[in-house]
A and B are shown apart, each in its own frame.
Chain A
Amino acid sequence: MLRFILHRLVYLIPVWIGISLVAFTLANLTPGDPARLALQRSLGRQPTAEETAAAREQMGLNDPAPIRYFNWLADAITGDLGTSYRTGQPVLDSLIERFPNTLQIAGAGLLLAIAIAIPLGVLAAVYRRSAIDHVSRVVALLGASMPSYWVAYLLILLFSVRLGMLPVAGSSTWQHAVMPAVTLGIGGSASLMRLTRSEMLETLNQDYIRTARAKGLHSRTLLVRHALRNTMIPISTVLGMRFAGMLGGAVIVETIFSWPGIGKLVVDAIFDRDYPMIQGFVIFMGTAFLLINLIVDLGYGLIDPRIRLANR
C-alpha cells in the first residue's frame, strides 16, 4: 500500500513540470502586458510609460521568457511560487489562504449532493417506474438544467429576500456558507442521482443478487451490503471527479456570494495576465486532482476487497 502511494506521489513531479510549462507557455502567448494591466487595475487609469517601465522592472518581466520560466521553476522547487502581479502577495500564501474557503463549500456541496442523490437514486432503481422514480427523474432534470447562477439567485430570493434567514453574500459567519454549498450541491446531485440509479439497476439484475434474494436475505441487507456497495465503485470515481471540478470551477458561485475562494482568484488572475498566480493555481490544482484520485483509488480497496487482494 505504502509503495503504491509513493509510486503515485512520484507521478506528481513530471505532472508539475508538464502543467507548469503548459500554463507558462499559454499565459505568455496570450496578448497583454501584465505590468500595464496590473497598473490599470491598481491606479484606476492608464499608466504612463514611466510607471509601466518601473513596474516591468519590479516584476522581472524584462528577462526573456525561458529565463523567467526556469527562474520560476527554480524558486518553485523551494516552495516559492512567486508573487502575484495583481495583488502583490506571495502566490502560495494566497492559494493557501483561499483554498480552505473553496474546500468548505465544495466539501459541503459534495456531502449535500451525496445526501440527495444516492438515496433518491437507490429508491428510483428499487421502485423502478414508480412515482418516486418519476419524481427523481424530474428532480435530476431540474438540477441538470438549472445553471448555477440561476439557482444561486433563486436561493437568495427565497432565503434572504423573502424569508430573511440567511445573508445574501459574504464570508464572516457559517450562515454565509450555506447558500454557496447548496448551489454547488444541487448542481452536483443531478448527474450523480441518474448514475446511482442506472448502476443500481444493473447491479440488481446480477445473478448474485438474485441468488441472495432466493436465499431469503433481508432486503435492506441485500440493498446496502451487496447492491449499493458494488455500485459505489463507479460512483466514487465520479464523486472524485465531481469534487475536483467543484474545487476548480466554483467561480460563478464564489462571485455571486462574495465567497473568497480559489476559483474567483484564478479567473481574476487570467484577466490580469497574472502569470505567477495562474502557474501557481495550475500546480496547486494539479496536485489536488492527483491527491483526490489517489484517495479514490485507495477507497476502491475499502469498498471492494477483491481490489485490495489483487494489489497484494
Chain B
Amino acid sequence: MRDANHGIDRRTLLLATGAAGVASTLGRTATAQDAPAASARIGVEDDSYRTDERANIGFYPLNTNIFESLVYLTPDYQIEPLLAESWELVKPTTWRITLRQDVTFHDGTPFNADAVKYSMDRIASNGGGVLRIDENSTVIVDDFTVEITPSVTNLRLMQQIGHPNNSILPVDLNPAESRIGTGPFREVEYVAADHYTVEANPDYWGEAPGVGEITFRFYPDPTARLLALQAGDVDLITDVPKQSASQVEAAGATLITGPVGAYEAMYFNIHGEEPYDLGQEPAVREAVSIAINRDQVIESAWQGNAEPGTTMIPPAILGSAVSLVDAPQYDPDAARQTLEDAGWVEGEGGIREKDGRALNLVIINGYGTAADHGSVPELLQAQLEEIGVGLEIVQTPDTATYEQRLQVGEGDLWLEAGSQNDGNPCFLPDLLFSTPVEGGDPESTMYGRAFAPGAAFDAHIAECREAVEVEAVQEAAAMAMNVVINEERVVIPLCGFYRIMGASTAVDNIDLHASGVNQRWTSLTMAG
C-alpha cells in the first residue's frame, strides 16, 4: 500500500497539463485555413440524438466536432487544453479556468465566460452529471476566467469536463433546435435517422479539417453498413463488429483500428447468498481466474480483433502505473490443483464436488447486451469444464433485466463490456466496486453489494479521489485495480477492445480515438 497524498498544498498546485505549452495545444496553429473541397461520406450507427431539453450534445458522431469542451481527452486518455487555456486549483475544491480569447461560435458570437457559465448551469439543471456541479458552482471572474466549485468535492473535475457531453454552447442556445458550437465543423443539414451533413468551419480557431464536408449516414444494421461500403454508398464505416472485420478486407476495403478504449470482463459475486455463494470461496475465484485462456477467447470469439485484457480500464489511462497491475496468467493445471487443495474433488460427469455440492456456477450474460458478448459465454463454459467447473449461462434480453438480476444478486459470474470516455481512471472502479454507503448512488450500491472487495480497495479509491497530481491518481487507480484483479480476484479481465473502421480506397487517412464519443474528424483526409 502506498501513502496517501494528504500533505500536498492544493492551493498552490497547478496541474501540469494545464500550465505550460498551452498556445500550441493539439498541434493547432490558431490560424484558420481555406476549407478543402474534398468531401466524405461516413456510414455510422443508429441515430440516437435527442431533440428535447436533454439534447445529448456529446453524442457520437453527431456533435463531437460541432461543439468543443474546455479540455481535450487525447487518444491515450490524458487531458490537454482546448477551449480552456489553463486551469489551477485555487481553493480546496475550486478550479479557476482561463479561457481562450480568439474563439467565436459558428454564428459569430464570441466565446467567453458567459457561455461557459450557461453551459455548466445547463448540466447542473439536469442533475450535475459526474462533475457534481449545481447552479451555484460556476462563477464568472472576468470575461475569460471562470471558477467552478463542485457541490461535492471533486478533484477529478478537469479529467471529466472534457467529455463531449460537457461541451460549451452559446448563451441561450437550445441544442434541440440548432447546433451551434465552436468546433472545426458546422452543421449543414440534419435529417433525423437518415443523415447529418457538416462542413468545415472557415473561421475555426485551430487547424483546419482535412475535408470540406462530411455526410454521416445512419445504418443501424452493421451488415447493411458493411454492404453500403461495398456498394460505394459511403467511403468509411464506423463500429465494424469484431466478428465481421474479416469481411471488410474480403470486400476490398481497408481495416482501420485504434488504441484500446473498451473492455470485456467477468465479475465474481463475492457476497452472494446460497445458491450464488460459491464466489465467496477464494480458491474458487482463483481457480476460475487462471483457467481462462484469453488468447483463445480473442481468436475464437473475436477473430483476433481484440487484445488480452490486463486491467478493466484501458491500460493507457494508467500511464506508467500500468505495470502495477496485470491479469492472472492462464494455468489450467494450477487451477485444478487449487481446487483439489480446497477439497473440490472430481464428481459425477467430471464436475467437481465438495460436501455433496457440485461446483456449478451461473454466469449472467451480460452488460451492455448479451449480443455484445458473442460466443464468449460458451467458450468460457468449455474452458471451465476443463478444470471440472460447470457453468450455466443465463442470457438477459436487455440492460434493465440484467440490472434487475444484479439487484438481487442472482448469479455467480457477471459478464460485462464497458468503455472509458473521460480521463478519470477511478470512475469505473469507484462506481462498480466501492463499498456501498447508506443513501449512496443506487447503481454503486447495486454493484457494491455483489462485488465490493472491502477496505483495501476503498483506501486506494479514497487516495484516487483526494490526489491532485495525475501520476498519484494513476497509481492509486492501478493499486485499486490490483486489489480486485490479483488480490481478491473479483474481476477477471478478458479482452481489451479497440474500435474498428472500414475504409474504401477513397480515404487517405483517419486517426482513430480510443473512445468513440471523443472521435474528432479533423484528421480525415481523402485520396486525390
Contact = CB atoms under 8 A, between A and B. Distances in A.
Given A44-B60, A161-B230, A258-B220, A170 B195 contact: yes
A236 interface: no
B227 A153 contact: yes
A168 B231 contact: yes
A31 B443 contact: no
Interface in B41-67: 48, 50-56, 58-60
Most chain A CB within a 10 A radius of its CB, from B55, B224, B421: B224
Given A88-B176, A156-B231, A271-B398, A47 B221 contact: no
B498 to A, nearest CB: 18
A221 to B, nearest CB: 48
Nearest to A42: B56
Chain A: interface size category: 35 or more
A51 B129 contact: yes
A161 B60 contact: no
A48 B193 contact: no
B442 interface: yes
Interface in A160-188: 160-161, 164, 167-172
B195 A172 contact: yes
Nearest to B516: A44
Given A168-B233, A258-B218, A48 B130 contact: yes
A197 interface: no
A282 to B, nearest CB: 19
Given A32-B404, A44-B60, 10 more contacts: A30-B400, A42-B59, A44-B517, A45-B163, A50-B127, A88-B50, A88-B55, A167-B231, A168-B228, A255-B220
A49 B440 CA distance: 8
Nearest to B404: A31
Contacts of A37: 399-400
Contact of A52 (B58, B130, B442): B442
B515 to A, nearest CB: 10
A93 B399 CA distance: 28
Given A52-B442, A256-B224, A88 B54 contact: yes
A258 B47 CA distance: 10
A172 B194 contact: yes
Contacts of B58: 43-44
B172 interface: no
A48 B50 CA distance: 19
Contacts of B31: none
Nearest to A156: B227
Contacts of B192: 260
A47 B56 CA distance: 13
B401 A32 contact: yes
A169 B129 contact: no
A201 interface: no
B194 A170 contact: yes
Contact of B127 (A40, A54, A156): A54
Contacts of A194: none
B52 A88 contact: yes
A131 to B, nearest CB: 35
Nearest to A98: B193
A33 interface: yes
Contacts of A71: none
27 contacts: A30-B400, A33-B400, A43-B56, A43-B58, A43-B129, A44-B421, A46-B431, A47-B443, A48-B441, A49-B441, A50-B128, A55-B54, A83-B52, A87-B52, A88-B53, A153-B227, A167-B233, A169-B219, A170-B194, A172-B195, A256-B221, A256-B223, A257-B224, A258-B194, A258-B224, A260-B194, A264-B220
A128 interface: no
B232 interface: yes
Nearest to A53: B127
Contact of B399 (A30, A32, A161): A32
A41 B54 contact: no
A49 B442 contact: yes
Contact of B224 (A38, A44, A156): A156
A258 B193 contact: yes
A172 B191 contact: yes
B228 to A, nearest CB: 4
Nearest to B152: A50
A23 to B, nearest CB: 17
B403 interface: yes
Contact of A44 (B53, B59, B231, B403): B59
B217 A170 contact: yes
Contact of B227 (A33, A160, A271): A160
A157 interface: yes
B282 to A, nearest CB: 29
A33 B132 CA distance: 22
A48 B134 CA distance: 13
Given A31-B400, A160-B231, A41 B48 contact: yes
A257 B46 CA distance: 11
Contacts of A55: 54, 126-127
Contacts of B53: 88
Interface string B178-198: 000000000000011111000
Contacts of A257: 224
Interface string B424-445: 0000000100000000111100
B400 A89 contact: no
B238 interface: no
Nearest to A271: B398
A254 to B, nearest CB: 9
A50 B152 CA distance: 12
B165 interface: yes
Contacts of A169: 217, 219, 221, 224, 228, 233
A241 to B, nearest CB: 27
Interface string A286-305: 00000000000000000000
A41 B221 CA distance: 18
A258 B220 CA distance: 6
B128 A160 contact: no
B127 A171 contact: no
A42 B50 contact: yes
Contact of A160 (B233, B421, B441): B233
B28 to A, nearest CB: 26
Contacts of A42: 48, 50, 54, 56, 59
Contacts of A47: 127, 443
Contacts of A160: 227-228, 231, 233
Given A153-B227, A170-B194, A256-B221, A48 B127 contact: yes
A169 B193 CA distance: 11
A33 to B, nearest CB: 7
A256 B221 CA distance: 5
Contacts of B442: 49, 52
Contacts of A51: 126-129
A256 B224 CA distance: 6
B227 A87 contact: no
Given A161-B231, A167-B233, A273 B129 contact: no
A70 B316 CA distance: 53
